[in-house]
Structure 1
Amino acid sequence: MTTEEKIARIAAVAPEFGLSAALDVLELPRSTWYYRRSGGASCEQKHAPLRAHLEQIARSHPEYGYRRATPEASERLGRAVNHKVVQKLQSLWDLALIRKVRPPRPSAVRQMIVAVGKRANLVAARERIGVLEVLYTDFTELRYRGGKAHLIVLLDHVSKVVLGWAVGPRATSQLALAAWEKARRTLRRHRRSTRGVIVHQDQDPVFTGYAWTGRLLLRDHARVSYALRGAKDNPEMESFYGRFKTENASLLEEAEDLRALRAAVGQRMRYYNHRRRHSTIGNVPPWTYLTTRRARGSQ
């Protein structure tokens, strides 16, 4: 509600409810009330010629606050403008809403996801998934004595083997590609090419960025699949991270630095792959299940 609107409403209700009550309810200073009623010009009225200039500045230079907008306005008007006046007018006229920097355009991959809709999830439509045909990935946050870090793994849909993983201070493309490189080496050990392998992930900027998609699609000829409903479309990763962090919480929290954290994660990943029995694959460790299936030549 503008000051003028408040003045009009107070004038209408003051005879019935009293001036003091009306001023309190509408939070209008008594001095402003008497000043306006006596015919004094408001700040907005007094500086009305500035409005068009300030609005144009807000659109042309969305990053400008009142400090940088002031000399720009002075130059356009050909006279000095007080910075406090500009600050007040920006607030009165809601110019902050105009000058907000527009969000960056979505990446080409994200635009593609929107365009194809449900077809972006390549996993949902598959009736049968073979060993090493679909990998899941995502980032998760780890807490340790030295602070916070991020873990990323690539998990096989059928065997539950963690093919690659990496830990770093931030969830970056570099970290994701480090995990992918380990996964590639594991696939080679099992004589499996990356060609045609589906990697399913959410729409994190890393996974829709050029570094990640370019490497997987163009260089390694893999396929990328995207969750459309967040965690609901990537339950394998939610389940894995939930178990991993719960079972290893105390060990991870004791790590004093990032190097110690990586060592702890590596130890637990080896245990998970080679010793921890998994109920969905016949109560054998994932690595045992994978090597047995591959030895039989089953896909």
Structure 2
Amino acid sequence: MRDLKVRIQEVHTSNYRVYRARKVWRELNRQGHAVARCTVERLMRELGITGAVRGKKVITTLPGGQVERAPDRLERDFVAKAPNRCWVADFTHVTTWAGVVYIVFVVETFSRRIVGWSAATVKATVFVLDAVEMAIWPRDRDQRPVGSGELIHHSDAGSQYTSFRLAEHLDAAGIAASIGPVGDAYDNALMESTIGLFKTELIKPRRPWKTLSEVELATAEYVDWYNHRRLHGEIGHVPPAEYEATYYTELTNPQVTTTT
């Protein structure tokens, strides 16, 4: 039992101290430690270990109306059957000693993977473009390019997402822009969930933040953990990168079934 307590502490500490009993239990079983969930819950109580608790959403987006908006191509249907079919985007803010830092994320709806992000001290279209470019580049590098007309980029009606410059950039990349309705609390729920986790698991526990550079470095480390190690219940309690890798493996090596 003592060894199990040590293992629980290691799992909790190596995952930003955010895992509650369910995820600690899942990770232990992934590592080959067969243990009951109730046992993990009891030992975590004895150790005084608790996970992160989500807070309330803070609105940082103001509607933009300077150009004609793209249509809502999703209508709350965020289910994708393959990678590079639907990306969702939004941004949040972090208060630092040097001022406010804005962070934008692009998330792959198929795997929940954060495929692009960027940070800046000004809510300008350029930092949204940087996140989109980050999302596109590795797909080309890994020879899994975004097919023209296959991918939708969905966001809210903020001015950064309704700008002509972003619309032009998406069109040049063969990506269809999609803008959700104004004032719909349920639109882009996946993106709201991702940002909520980011704030709960990284930003709040490490306050106060000092500079843009400090936030950028911590975000880069968090995104790497989020994509390659964090367990996501919506995709079978595996990390997003593993989920995508499994998809491509099965795509190139399909299971052959025979009938007798």
Of 178, 183, 193, which aligns to 2:146? 193
1:255 is displaced (CA, Å) by 3.4
Of 101, 124, 130, which aligns to 2:75? 124
Give the structure, 1 or 2, with the largest relative contact order (CA under 8 Å, sep 6 or more).
Answer: 2
1:22-41 matches, within 5 Å, as: none
Of 216, 219, 236, which aligns to 2:170? 216
Q: Can you list the C-alpha shifts for 1:77-108, whole angstroms capped at 9, x where unaligned?
A: xxxxxxxxxxxxxxxxxxxxxxxxxxxx9434
Q: Can you list the C-alpha shifts for 1:156-180, whole angstroms capped at 9, x where unaligned?
A: 1110011110011122111001111
Amino acid at match of 1:176: V
* TM-score of the aligned structures, taking structure 2 as reference length: 0.66
Q: Contact conserved, 2:107 with 2:115, CA < 8 A, in 1?
A: yes
Listed as ranges, the gaps of 5+ residues in structure 2 are 1-63, 253-260
CA distance in 1, matches of 2:119, 2:111: 22
**Cα 1:220–1:266 shift into 2, 3 Å:** same
Q: Does 1:206 align with 2:157?
A: no
Match of 1:14 in 2: none
Q: Can you list the C-alpha shifts for 1:132-164, whole angstroms capped at 9, x where unaligned?
A: 210000111122343321111110111001111
Of 229, 232, 238, which aligns to 1:275? 229
Match of 1:77 in 2: none
Match of 1:287 in 2: 241
Q: Contact conserved, 1:152 with 1:179, CA < 8 A, in 2?
A: yes
**Cα 1:128–1:210 shift into 2, 3 Å:** same
Q: Contact conserved, 2:98 with 2:210, CA < 8 A, in 1?
A: yes
CA distance in 2, matches of 1:267, 1:145: 21
Q: Does 1:183 align with 2:183?
A: no
Amino acid at match of 1:129: A
Of 222, 237, 243, which aligns to 2:197? 243
SS of the counterpart of 2:145? coil
Larger helix proportion, structure 1 or 2?
Answer: 1
Q: Does 1:264 align with 2:223?
A: no
Q: Does 1:172 align with 2:131?
A: no
1:183 is displaced (CA, Å) by 0.2
CA distance in 2, matches of 1:190, 1:239: 29
1:131 is displaced (CA, Å) by 2.2
Identity of aligned residues (%): 25
Of 149, 156, 163, which aligns to 2:108? 156
- The runs of at least 4 consecutive aligned structure 1 residues that moved more than 3 Å come to 105-108, 125-128
1:55-66 matches, within 5 Å, as: none
CA distance in 2, matches of 1:130, 1:186: 20
Q: Contact conserved, 1:145 with 1:253, CA < 8 A, in 2?
A: no
CA distance in 2, matches of 1:127, 1:242: 18
Q: Contact conserved, 1:131 with 1:156, CA < 8 A, in 2?
A: no
1:269 is displaced (CA, Å) by 0.5
Q: Contact conserved, 2:152 with 2:176, CA < 8 A, in 1?
A: yes
**Cα 1:281–1:184 shift into 2, 3 Å:** same
Match of 1:234 in 2: 188
Amino acid at match of 1:203: A
CA distance in 1, matches of 2:120, 2:76: 34
- Alpha-carbon RMSD: 2.2
Q: Contact conserved, 2:105 with 2:116, CA < 8 A, in 1?
A: yes
**Cα 1:276–1:127 shift into 2, 3 Å:** closer
1:185 is displaced (CA, Å) by 1.1
CA distance in 2, matches of 1:126, 1:244: 23
